[in-house]
Structure 1
């Protein structure tokens, strides 16, 4: 069962606690006492924590390396002597904790970190996409905690005026800075679609603060070229372009008007209903008329999607760093086309990585379209469970 501990926006809350020299405010609730799955939530926003990058070694090892034992490891944190994170610049996030996670471990770093998984949404999504799935994981694996993040230009992080360019790489660095600020060491990275490439880019950019071993799950995305689906299927680029032609912020009268417009344009009802979850009422409920605005930064998202299409991260798969295991999951009814060359290249990397202290593996999720965590959550849960049970 679960109690909820919230991190509200900066300047609110009742209990002030210093973590690594930074004041964090916790909003206490009566549900904390119930000790269910704990959710630590805060619309923190992305920071300029430290621009120093630690390079990954991609040198091949000729002799076979014994796979390292999987255990909790203390890793060096990113230094913070040059640029200090600002609480107003940290990405919005939720931290869902299992019942056996010691609550004080979030604040008291004398207690070893619980194993942490980071869950990343795709384009036009938000951390809420992962909410129910993360709570289910926390109930099944009560010693784990799950960090759900609103990526730049999305959700509660959209209010942050982020410096461009809005790319896969800059988005990954955002998340690396967040985990450094929170002083957690992710053991698992799970990214859906755009978030899958972000997870791969996190591995590419820094060996730390990522622990070793670390398992990466790329859900229905390839490392390289993005191939849109066939005729009659939804195209994200076209969806973004259409949304940009809708009335400006605060001029949308209802969610249903947007749903109808999307369906009339040829988008599926499922996608239309999903997109309008990003609408928020901008005038008081007592007003005679209703106005809605998007919670995301659509211009920034358009730039992010363009980067997603053009970013090539095959080198991480072809030359997987030691201690990293990359899992690809293809939806049976994927929105994107998985070319034969993509599948062949992933399978070729499986054998090579196994001999060099890393790992690559391919999975297929049956009875699911691109929205894997909504279409077949039970199947996805079964596939992912092996990761958490093995660490």
Structure 2
């Protein structure tokens, strides 16, 4: 039988949300108190599906503006199909995880290096989409050699992302600007709030599917509608999020780069860097899928994961 486990969450009831950032979660300190050399891990919100402990768990990391529920149906299906434990996680400044001014990939990797051993999910199969894919790649590279517990990542799946800068193909800065420009009057009824925000977003974002995705971040707190993502931190670090930390070491484990056939995020010019950092990398393209492969072609996405595990 499948069962859910939920992480401890920081409470936000009774806190006055910031009217400028439209955020609702308390802010955590950004350093560890050890000279700031290592990011301080945050207690991430997660859901864990039970399965066989003998085999590495599947760990799903969402992309920018996403959350763990993006993978709900896929997590349930893969838990049933593979018999493995499946973990879905909210990244810092997303979903129900705490907010922090630090939005670096090093910090997001540190959060997972703290969480995964606590849950007994080492080693694991890391499956990261977009921003989550870059976090997964960095974690695999950091734990690939010379450090304690190099066995943290048994194998790696990067979903429609590569270990290079993706600024030229990303509309995420425009999405942030549109979200920050939203004006939601107080006491707007729930039935009107989403329509009002969607109408305001539509002047800058024509794609209805993208607007619907962004609207999953609109939540009600203390009678007001707010963005649950930490837009201030995301906007401040957007250049870092679209880049990738330079690394010299390589990851020796099996790696799959799963690409959307209709997406431009992974360009042929990226392949040399992919092979340098991930010498055992294979690529697979899902036809008729855009950047959000798991949403566009969920059955093909799961079949690719199962094939890679086999």
Contact 1:46 1:177 in 2 (8 A): no
Structure 2: gaps spanning 5 or more residues:
12-26, 35-39
Q: Which has the higher contact order (CA 8 A, sep 6+)?
A: 2
| Contact 1:180 1:209 (8 Å CA) reproduced | no
Q: Does residue 48 of structure 2 align to residue 95 of structure 1?
A: yes
**Distance in 2 separating the partners of 1:10 and 1:377:** 29
1:214 correspondence with 2:151: no
Q: Which residue of 2 aligns with 1:126?
A: 67
- Higher-Rg structure is 1
Q: CA RMSD in A?
A: 3.3
Give the alignment of 1:111-122 within 5 angstroms: 114-122=55-63
Residue 86 (structure 2) aligned to one of 136, 140, 146: 146
Q: With structure 2 as the length reference, what TM-score do the two structures score?
A: 0.80
8 Å Cα contact 1:333-1:367 kept in structure 2? yes
Q: Which residue is equivalent to 1:308?
A: 241
Provide TM-score, normalisation by structure 1.
0.64
Residues 118 and 186, structure 1, Cα contact 8 Å, conserved in 2? no
Residue 277 (structure 1) aligns with? 216
Structure 2 residue 257 is the aligned partner of structure 1 residue 321: no
Give secondary structure in 2 for the equivalent of 1:183: coil
Q: Assess, with a 3 A threshold, how the Cα gap between structure 1 residues 47 and 205 changes in structure 2: closer, same or farther.
A: farther
- In the alignment, what sits opposite 2:165? 225
* Rounded Cα–Cα distance in structure 1 between residues aligned with 2:29 and 2:88: 16
Question: Is the Cα–Cα contact under 8 Å of residues 143 and 152 in structure 2 kept in the other structure?
Answer: no
The change in CA–CA distance for 1:146 and 1:372 in structure 2 (over 3 A counts) is same
Matched, 1:176 2:94: no
Q: Say how many residue pairs are matched.
A: 285
In the alignment, the residues of structure 2 paired with residue 331 and residue 117 of structure 1 have an alpha-carbon distance, to the nearest angstrom, of 21
Partner in structure 2 of residue 186 of structure 1: 123
The CA deviation at 1:172 is 1.1
Q: Distance in 2 between matches of 1:282 and 1:11?
A: 14
Q: 2:230 aligns with which of 297, 311, 327?
A: 297
Structure 1 position 304, deviation (Å):
4.2
What's the CA shift string for 1:200-232, capped at 9, x where partnerless?
A: 111232345452772111111110111433xxx
Distance 1:11 1:349 in 2: 40
Preserved CA contact (<8 Å) 2:68 2:90: yes
The 8 Å contact of residues 187 and 214 in structure 1, kept in 2 or not, is answered as: yes
